[in-house]
Chain A
Amino acid sequence: MFKRLIVDWAYFLNTSDAYQKKKLFFYNLLENSNYKYKKYFDLFMIILIFISVVILVREVKSHVDDSLLFFNNYIISIIFFIEYMLRLWVISSVTKVIIEQSEYDAMLGNEFQVLKPIKEITKVKVKYMLSVKAIIDLLAIIPFFHQLRLLRMFILFRVFKLFRYAKSIQTFTSVIAAKKFEFLTLLVFASIIVFVSSVLIYVMEANNPDSPIDTLFEALYWSIVTISTVGYGDITPTTEAGRTVAMFVIVAGIAVFSFTTSLIVTAFTEKLDEIKDLKLIDDIAKIKEFYLICGYENLSKEVAKKLSINNKVIILEEDPLKVEQATKDGFVALNHDPGSIDSYKKLRINVGTQVKAILCLSHSDVENVYTALTVRSFNKDVFILSILINKINRNKLNFAGVNELFYEKKLVGVIAKEFVGQPVAFEAIHALRSNYNGIDMQEIIINDRVLESFVTVGQLENKRYRVVLLGVYKKSKKRFFFNPFDSIVLEVGDYLLVIGNGQFIDEFSNYLHKKGSK
């Protein structure tokens, strides 16, 4: 009966939307650094930590208001305790383990063994509790027992909690951790030097009445102060033998100091690219909308240049040399394979919401097919445009899910036709396309604001603004009306297609959107 209740309870929680939503919310808040509200939570915790430390420092020599002490000892501690418990909760799923075990037992035809999942859950939770971060969290709660004065010192452990909240500290520790072995070697070397020099200086100086070194602790203190190149000068050797030891320690100290510095610098240099990439990925995750160009060739450069005037553009390219070139050209380029799902996961690109369109502009149909298929395998809706290099591959690209195919050779053919047939018209269209002499062709969308003042085409007065109205695209009918009659009624979502000087078009557009224009 009891076992049955546990399994039912596990299933209930596992299928409860409210429970899962709450758990996901707390997980994101505590552990997911990409969650947009996490930074506010982290900031709040950092403020609490600083308040704690300020109160501790103030308390040393002055009286601190009781309410502040209460806040420090109880409120902050309780908040930290709640945080600790929440972390313990979200770190693993209890219900999942129970369900897995019950299903496993059911499959084998055995009775549900309740102890096994409990053991496993305990193992995971205890493992977490014994992690350095969790221990620091726990010690930071201890000042709650403020009656024990010594325990108040544990407030300082709250400072260590900063490691959790400040990203730059995390970066620094990860850089240092990458050189763990070298730092360990250095520590062993420095420890041996300190040990040997402490013993030596003690043996040489302790029996000399003029020497300030009387105890082994003083010898150890002197060794550390000297090897660190700090050298306070409060304790100095007086015998010749002692000074010889000092010279030895000073030289060793310089070696240790320079070795440490070079280690940190090397670690940072090695990690610099990675840190930059991580920063870039973070920045990309914050962009609301962008075009994703896959493959960096001459055409990609031109397209990126034109698109980036009004949009954000990200380039994905597998070849590091081309990535370098794209970066030099001033674009955001990432050295990732656009044909790998893993790339999109690592870059945390949300293709569904962030990407306006994916442009497969590699000079290889094979790569473009591969990229299009990769994207289609996890997103059915995003708009994919691809160039076609060899027209026998047209069907393959269509099959791969490309929405719009672009065959450059056909375009050249059409341009040649226009040129030989109607060179003046060709020039006019070419001038329009390339925004020559400021003449442009633009779409103006009709929204509620425009409709408040203008109901029909005849009311638009485009001629007054020296703008040619080529036609109206009616959204409801999905049809373009060339040279529309004055009586045509405008609707929300319609587009006006206008030609004119860019500035005149802007003036016209502003006039349309200005309330009470009519």
Chain B
Amino acid sequence: MNEKSALIFGQNDYTFEIQKSISSHYENIHVLTLNGDDEFGFDLSDEWDALSNIVDMNDCVVFCILEDMAENIFLTISLRDTFKELTIVALARDKESSDKLILAGASRVLPTISTTANVIVEMLEKPIITEVLHNILYEESDLQIAQIKVENPDMFEAKYPADIDWSRDHGIIVISIVHEDMSSEFIYASKEKHHIIRSGDIFVVVGYAQDIKDFEKLIGSRCE
């Protein structure tokens, strides 16, 4: 995600939290209100020309977070119709609206109910895992999760990822590898050896900040 601006469609409780969370990633964040009167107001009438006055639509990510799912889906389909390459992140309540939003052209969907349910169940059933994941995601401990792009595959001497002792050699744990074709694979997905590390692969790693930095230097660059 290298866009400079973010547009948030919808003014509600989610707006504040999303705005707060993504503020460090974007130079400009604009919140647009449905049926608002000022320049940051919008309606669902397909008139998106005014948006170009606010941000460069080619360098922007859009969050569709209207609470009325029918309106949110309509907004998503309307934006996709006008901006074919735009990154659209949409809020979905349940699986049904999640599927519809993907059909409507959303790049990513944030399913609120199923994600909330997953986290609540994890909290109860796997409290330690939840705490650890929470600390990693919220960066409340020194542990971090990062994605690192391989630019120097020669150092692995054509080894299979599962054969490398990441934790002992580099002090980090590799969870999964995303190949160039964007297919993702868990490090020990099967007992078979599938893939030799190539340039352009992305590692998802967990570790302490310094270890991750050292690892980055060794194999490539952090992928933002």
Interface residues of A (CB under 8 A from B): 291, 298-299, 302-303, 305-307, 310-311, 356-357, 359, 385, 387, 390-391, 404, 406, 408-425, 427-429, 431-434, 437, 439, 441-443, 463, 466-471, 473, 480, 482-483, 495, 497, 499-501, 504
Please, how many residues of chain B have a CB less than 8 angstroms from a CB on the other chain?
Answer: 72
B22 close to A (CB within 8 Å): yes
Contact of A466 with B202 at beta-carbon distance under 8 Å, contacts A417-B21, A428-B175 already known? no
Residues in A neighbouring B108, C-beta threshold 8 A: 419, 423
CB<8 Å pairs between A and B, sample of 11: A413-B18, A415-B110, A416-B110, A437-B186, A441-B129, A443-B129, A466-B188, A480-B141, A482-B206, A501-B186, A501-B188
Residues in A neighbouring B167, C-beta threshold 8 A: 469, 483
Find out whether the CB atom of A412 lies under 8 angstroms from the CB atom of B223. no
Select one of B22, B122, B176, B184 contacting A417, CB under 8 A: B22
Contact of A442 with B22 at beta-carbon distance under 8 Å, contacts A409-B13, A423-B1, A482-B207 already known? no
B91 close to A (CB within 8 Å): yes
Contact of A429 with B133 at beta-carbon distance under 8 Å, contacts A408-B116, A424-B202 already known? yes
Max chain A C-beta neighbours (<10 A), residue from B121, B190, B191: B121
Which residues in chain B, 188-207, are within 8 Å of chain A measured between CB atoms? 188-191, 202, 204, 206-207
CA distance A424 to B202 in the complex (A): 8
Closest to A472 in B: B128
Residues in B neighbouring A413, C-beta threshold 8 A: 14, 17-18, 20-21
Interface residues of B (CB under 8 A from A): 1, 6, 13-14, 16-18, 20-22, 25-26, 61, 63, 89, 91, 93-94, 108, 110, 112-126, 128-129, 131-133, 135-138, 141, 143, 145-147, 162, 165, 167, 171-173, 175-176, 178, 184, 186-191, 202, 204, 206-208, 223-224
Select one of B61, B114, B133, B178 contacting A302, CB under 8 A: B114
Residues in A neighbouring B20, C-beta threshold 8 A: 413
Residues in A neighbouring B186, C-beta threshold 8 A: 431, 437, 439, 499-501
Find out whether the CB atom of B145 lies under 8 angstroms from the CB atom of A422. yes
Max chain A C-beta neighbours (<10 A), residue from B118, B138, B187, B208: B118
Q: How far is the CB of B221 from chain A (nearest CB, A)?
A: 13
CA distance A441 to B110 in the complex (A): 21
Find out whether the CB atom of A434 lies under 8 angstroms from the CB atom of B118. yes
Select one of B63, B117, B120 contacting A416, CB under 8 A: B63
Closest to B167 in A: A483
Residues in A neighbouring B141, C-beta threshold 8 A: 480
Find out whether the CB atom of A504 lies under 8 angstroms from the CB atom of B63. no
Residues in B neighbouring A428, C-beta threshold 8 A: 145, 175-176, 184, 204
Find out whether the CB atom of B206 lies under 8 angstroms from the CB atom of A470. yes
Q: How far is the CB of B5 from chain A (nearest CB, A)?
A: 12
Supplied contacts A419-B108, A428-B204, A501-B190, 4 more A-B pairs, CB within 8 Å: A409-B17, A412-B110, A424-B202, A463-B165
Contact of A307 with B121 at beta-carbon distance under 8 Å, contacts A302-B113, A419-B89, A504-B188 already known? yes
CA distance A415 to B26 in the complex (A): 16
Find out whether the CB atom of B115 lies under 8 angstroms from the CB atom of A411. yes
Closest to A415 in B: B110
Closest to B135 in A: A480
Closest to B147 in A: A424
Find out whether the CB atom of A470 lies under 8 angstroms from the CB atom of B173. yes
CA distance A409 to B13 in the complex (A): 7
Residues in B neighbouring A471, C-beta threshold 8 A: 132
Closest to A423 in B: B1
Find out whether the CB atom of B206 lies under 8 angstroms from the CB atom of A427. no
Find out whether the CB atom of A420 lies under 8 angstroms from the CB atom of B25. yes
CA distance A310 to B114 in the complex (A): 18
Contact of A404 with B126 at beta-carbon distance under 8 Å, contacts A306-B117, A483-B207 already known? no
Select one of B17, B128, B133, B171 contacting A473, CB under 8 A: B128
Contact of A298 with B113 at beta-carbon distance under 8 Å, contacts A424-B204, A429-B133 already known? yes
CA distance A305 to B118 in the complex (A): 10
Closest to B206 in A: A470
